Amino acid sequence: MKLQGIFPPIATPFDHKGDLYKVKVQHNVEKWNLTTLSGYVVCGSTGESVMLTPEEKIQLWEWVAQYAASSKLLIAGTGVESVRETVALTNRAAEIGYKAAMVRTPHYYKTLLNNTAAQVLYFRSVADQSKIPLMIYNWPQTTGVDISVDAVCQLSEHPNIIAIKESSGNLEKVMQMIREVKPGFQVLVGSAPTLAPSLAVGAVGAVLAFANAAPYACITIWEAHRTRDTDAAKDWQGRIIRAAQAVTTRFGIPGLKYAMDLNGYYGGPVRLPLTPVSPQVQKEIEKAFEGIKG
């Protein structure tokens, strides 16, 4: 299975009561269908997955599968702390039609899990029982656990673990993974501010929160890379850097949802305890997105 190109980890639409908002799921997905995004990741961190019940995750998987174009690859965010529940969610997503699962590093018991042996055991145990292939998801800035290159290399040998989403923004680590993993294992990145250089060193694609609000800009960088137009890739990387930082490292999901509203998608409210961005931050985001359309 090839995971090349740009995948948004889609934001979860909530209505004013805080419930899942089906019509806005449809609105966003059908608008993204008009782009050349490679597919969608549903219930990743950007989707506020840690705020969702298992029933809500399953509902979102069903709705996105209903509205997604047949050309789009569907990836379910299924990682939770235990092997047992992760396997159950992964196999439920498989039944709905998802082709791969993105599984984040377990991190609640950091002192017990922040080592290569524990990380390898977790992912191998999930992969052994999963009906669809796995993508490892590493985001140490949030989890406090940074999966080692050694662990990734060992896991790349497993026939049901096909990729990693490396969201640390550490280009040196990305390069080391690409050099050392088993041939055919795919390295994707999760950092829009370093998209072009990550692709240049060998990443095959990206799962980008920024692509929720600005898919065309991300696709432009991908296409420039694919056609070896390094000047265009570098130019567009420079154009998006401020906006990408605003809706990721600076203002996070509340900022991203405001940018989606700004660009014609539905961002809507976040789920408590997250809170909307202030009017001052809204102005900063508006300025950062000048010239970057949805």
Q: Please list the active-site residues.
A: 165
d(Cα 78, Cα 239) in Å, to the nearest integer? 33
- Six-digit token string for 268: 């809507």
Distance of CA 263 to the CA centre of its chain: 19
Tell me the pairing of strands 73-77 and 100-104: parallel
Burial class (CB in 10 A: 0-12, 13-18, 19+), 34: exposed
d(Cα 111, Cα 125) in Å, to the nearest integer? 20
Contact 35, 215 (CB under 8 A): yes
Closest CA to 125 of 173, 158, 165: 158
